[in-house]
Chain A
Amino acid sequence: MALVLSGQGEKASPILKLGRKYSAYLAYPLLLASIVWLLLLPFQTFTRNGYFSENAMMPNQVYTVFGTEEHMSAMNHIDAELALQSTAKDEGERQAGAVYRAFNSLGLDSEIQRFAYSEVPGVGSTSGINVHGVLRAGRSDSVEALLIAASWTTSSNRTNINAVRLMAGLAKYASEQVYWAKDIIFLVTDGGEHGIETWLKSYHGGGGLYVRSGIIQAAVCLELPPAQSYAGMGLFFEGKSGQLPNLDLVNIVQYISRVERIPAYLHGMVDASRSSTWLEKYKRSAQLLLRQVSSLAIGKSVGVHAPFLRYRIDALTLSGIVRPTDSVSLEYLSTGVAPVMPAPFTVRAIGRTVESTLRSLNNLLEHFHQSFFFYILPANERYISIGDYIPAAGLMVASLLFQAMHLWWMQGSDDMRSDNPATRIERINAYYAFLRRTLPNTIGIIARVHLLGVILLVTPIAVPYAVLTNTTSTAYVFTMALASVSMVLHISDTYWIESVQRMVDWKQLKAVVELYVAVVVGCLSVMNFSLAVVLFGVTGLPLVLTRVWTSATKMRRIANVCMLLLASPVCTLVLSRAALGLSPLDFTSSPFRMFLGDFYHFGSLAYPLVCLVYWPVNLLCMIVALMP
């Protein structure tokens, strides 16, 4: 950056001179290159085959035994417990009590945890109840544990009782074996991700849990909607803030499930067959990649595995894929009555998949550390590692940097850029004088706009009620939008008058903002590549394209501002909701509340980025466009 910002008039190294000469032309090819790179990712010829890095796991090297009579009867035992009339206050208590008694009868150390949470901070309070049972390993000290979790409702809002039954069967199987080196924890929650998060917080030192085990090495979450049998399983693995489980876990679950004849597909999508055309394959891969990117950028996934990833527990969700013509499923959808178990062969297959996974995880001696933590998966059993996709982000950042270098060089008057050695000292003095005049103003503008962003960020948390009921949240967002526009106009007006004395230079402002966005996108791309790409798309791209012409006529300026308005957060939200078919003016549900809730509960970065980067940079672009 020092190289980019080095002053004029001083002796520059040959490389710098060359850079300054050609930097005007470099930014656009780099931008194009990054887009092309991203478009090339779905081509499967550029991806690699998945493999197991961890030698210790040895997947599928042992016979599986799940599915005996006793396991089946343990699964039916849950139904018996549920059918008992109890004096519980509500459905949640009744279910939890049934599971608690069932776990106890299987010999697990069980406990019920009651808690309350509010989805969005300060608004309302929902109560929830968790039940967990720990199977102690007979010959080992309880230093490590594996976990199997299920929520009472699936992501598609159907009952998940099949998963709870399967967990009981697995607990029965596990309690019969002598070869466990780690404890196994079975966890059932009715609060979805919030329930899991509360449980994890208590488990890891937050207090409130009496029955505990050791460090949890891995977790598998199950979602089995009512059906007679499943066509396959969907494998979901994204977390909040771009966290992903170790690729080894994803690979072994895929491998094991394929061997047990109930294959797990990523996001439930089957690969295009070998005989289809390359276009078909490309479209399929691109679709899968887009699903992952949107999951990772927004922070929303299917299943309850996301909270585990924050605690460095590798986790994923297995979700059963129901055929649309499944009779049991249709019956449930029409009557809403809890259904019977799926066909035995299905239950056995899924149970054996989980059993074999547990055996492999049992063999682990350390945390997953051998395989990749940063990857995207274009197809089943293929992967793109960070080394293969990060150059796209690098190219994006490079394009911003080159344009920033060009603009910084171009700031001020032309006589600051001559090569005449005689006037060297004068040039240096003029340069520093210019900087002394304009740089504080530029920083001031940036600070003022970001203050708006800070207000946007902090207000919903500090004054929750006022903001997040149905009508007020809509009003809030629109008020903020109006405030932003008025600020933009005010700033540009202020400096228009004083532009005669050159108190501020738009080139300098744009260069500093570009540097700032480059840093943000660069750092973010390592942590959460998808979010970085999306952020670049909505902030960096408009930034690069703002005021690219040499002379600024009024028409051009207005066109620029319109483009920026289209790219603004409010507009983006409206357009996306329209694309998803929801009412465009209702901001009570996702994504705004979802971002806010995720930020408050899970530390997800989407909301702060929108408030502190996206919104301010958008406004700054408008200011740049409107400045003289």
Chain B
Amino acid sequence: MKLSSLFSCTVLVLSLLAVAFGASSNEEKVTQFFDSSETQHTNNWAVLVCTSRFWFNYRHMANTLSMYRTVKRLGIPDSHIILMLADDMACNPRNSYPAAVYDHPRKTTDLYGDNVEVDYRGYEVTVENFIRLLTGRVAPDTPRNKRLLTDDKSNVFIYMTGHGGEDFLKFQDSEEINSYDIADAFKQMWEKQRYREILFVIDTCQANTMYSKFDSPNILSIGSSKKGQNSLSHYHDFDLGVSVIDRFTYYNLEFFESVDLSSKKTLADLIAAYNRSLIQSDPGVRTDLFARDLKKTYLTDFFGAVQNVELTAEAFPIGGNKVKKSSVK
């Protein structure tokens, strides 16, 4: 009798302890969400721009669409992605695989399958529209999906690809944007607190010159080749008759294949993975404007949709009888 009661007491005590412990640990976890805010950002946006048109620039479209797929896979929803494609490769009559865009000669993934939302297409991709998008000075009748509705808690990933040169990037074969324009746009964004951090990646010839004029805080820039160097294409598809992907973007995507929703890989890992002899140009990184340590900046800070989530503790007694809530100190 005594033994059983002792035993039951022990069990009771232990279970109480377990519950108490569990409860407190739960509470701890819940509170953790509130405080684990080194980054203090609540949403991620992506702006992906392809600036070239014409059939022989297929690879720029494939670059941008591959980035789009990656960014979506890692969690950013379409409502937070602005995709600008200057031409339509999938439905180009010269495409012997109509309605499909591939980035590998083996044609394993169709980048343009279902569920692609292109926000700016064709001739809407202009320098003026791009600057208006970044600074927020769009016309009043612009639809929601063409606006960059970021605030001071948004991390923005901006990816640009096309033909470029020293301090400029060619839009649509007819106009150019230069590095001062982009730097000015970022300055305006910072003035109006339209971003928390920006990751600016650019894959063109002489790309590193494009970020040389930035001077707003919290911008990390990565370019594919330095001044005087060309960025090269990677795979040529003899079936389609065009090159289908650029080297820099290809090796970035290869790295991202090992990144998933919960990955803890950092930007330092990404940059360390750049192999100059494979990319055949010198990628550049500009970190002086970026406050955080690259080794502590996760890729999911920019590429994922790590949203701050809080469990709802209790419901509100709406529609019921008057209820009092009290607290004692």
**A: which residues have CB within 8 A of B?**
55-56, 58, 61-63, 137-140, 177-181, 359, 362-363, 365
Contact = CB atoms under 8 A, between A and B. Distances in A.
A58 B242 contact: yes
B96 A177 contact: yes
Contact of A365 (B54, B91, B242): B54
Q: Is the interface of A mostly helix, strand, loop or mixed?
A: loop
B54 A63 contact: no
Interface in B235-259: 236, 238-242
A55 B241 CA distance: 13
B93 A62 contact: no
B192 interface: no
Instruction: Please name the 6 residue pairs, one residue from A and one from B, whose CB atoms are nearest each other, closest first.
Output: A62-B241, A140-B93, A181-B93, A139-B93, A179-B96, A56-B56
B54 A56 contact: yes
A179 B56 contact: no
B238 to A, nearest CB: 5
A437 B214 CA distance: 77
B95 interface: yes
Contacts of B91: 139
Interface SS of chain B: loop
B21 to A, nearest CB: 68
Given A137-B93, A181-B93, A363-B94, A63 B239 contact: yes
B31 interface: no
B242 A362 contact: no
A370 B70 CA distance: 38
9 contacts: A58-B242, A61-B241, A62-B239, A137-B93, A139-B91, A140-B93, A177-B96, A180-B93, A181-B92
A464 B95 CA distance: 56
B108 to A, nearest CB: 20
A365 B174 CA distance: 14
Residue among A140, A180, A363 with most chain B CB within 10 A: A363
Given A56-B54, A181-B92, A181-B93, A139 B238 contact: no
A85 to B, nearest CB: 42
A365 B93 CA distance: 12
B276 to A, nearest CB: 26
B113 interface: no
Contacts of B54: 56, 365
Contacts of A178: 96, 98
B25 to A, nearest CB: 63
B38 to A, nearest CB: 47
B274 interface: no
A363 to B, nearest CB: 6
Given A55-B56, A58-B56, A180-B93, A63 B98 contact: no
A179 B91 CA distance: 11
B190 interface: no
B55 interface: yes
B106 to A, nearest CB: 15
A362 B236 CA distance: 18
Given A62-B239, A179-B93, A179-B96, 16 more contacts: A56-B55, A58-B241, A58-B242, A61-B236, A61-B242, A63-B238, A63-B239, A137-B93, A139-B93, A139-B98, A178-B98, A179-B94, A359-B241, A362-B94, A365-B54, A365-B55
A138 B241 CA distance: 19
A270 B253 CA distance: 49
B98 A62 contact: no
Contacts of B98: 139, 178
A63 B96 CA distance: 12
A137 B92 CA distance: 12
B289 to A, nearest CB: 35
A363 B239 contact: no
A63 B242 CA distance: 11
Nearest to A63: B238
Contacts of B93: 137-140, 179-181
Contacts of A359: 241
Given A55-B56, A56-B55, A179 B236 contact: no
Contacts of B239: 62-63
B95 A62 contact: no
Nearest to B55: A363
Interface string B43-84: 000000000001110000000000000000000000000000
A557 to B, nearest CB: 66
A360 to B, nearest CB: 9
A139 B96 CA distance: 11
